[in-house]
């Protein structure tokens, strides 16, 4: 289980950091990878990157919760669940922002 969390959470952290720093999706990404996003702006991409960082960190935190004490592990799991919920909210907001009519 720990290997799975590192194999999934680690790349998500890397992808999220890349998106946060660059502010644009890589050119080799296909359209289906950015499907919910209609208009790609640097702000929307950075919000998507923030979502990926939060999701990756929460997956790694779930894996680490097995290696620490019960109290610390419980706190990590609660923080990971909060990161999932916040990440979902940021993802929905960034998708809404990309579909909003520009004025």
Residue 26 gets the label, from left (phi > 0), alpha (psi -120 to 50) or beta, of beta
| pLDDT score of 40 more than 90 | no
Compute the distance between CA of residue 77 and CA of residue 73 in angstroms, rounded to an integer: 6
Q: What separation in angstroms does the CA of 101 have from each of 24, 34, 41, 79, 90?
A: 20, 19, 13, 35, 19
| Residue range 58-86: mean pLDDT, rounded | 92
And the tokens for 45?
């991409």
* Band of residue 34 on the pLDDT scale cut at 50, 70, 90: confident
Query: What does pTM read for this prediction?
Result: 0.86
């Amino acid at each position: 289980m720990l290997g799975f969390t590192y194999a999934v959470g680690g790349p998500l952290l890397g992808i999220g950091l890349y998106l946060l720093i660059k502010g644009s999706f890589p050119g080799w990404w296909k359209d289906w990878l950015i499907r919910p996003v209609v208009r790609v702006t640097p702000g929307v991409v950075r919000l998507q990157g923030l979502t990926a960082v939060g999701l990756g960190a929460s997956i790694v935190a779930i894996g680490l919760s097995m290696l620490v004490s019960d109290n610390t592990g419980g706190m990590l799991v609660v923080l990971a669940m909060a990161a999932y919920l916040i990440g979902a909210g940021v993802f929905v907001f960034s998708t809404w922002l990309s579909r909003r009519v520009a004025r």
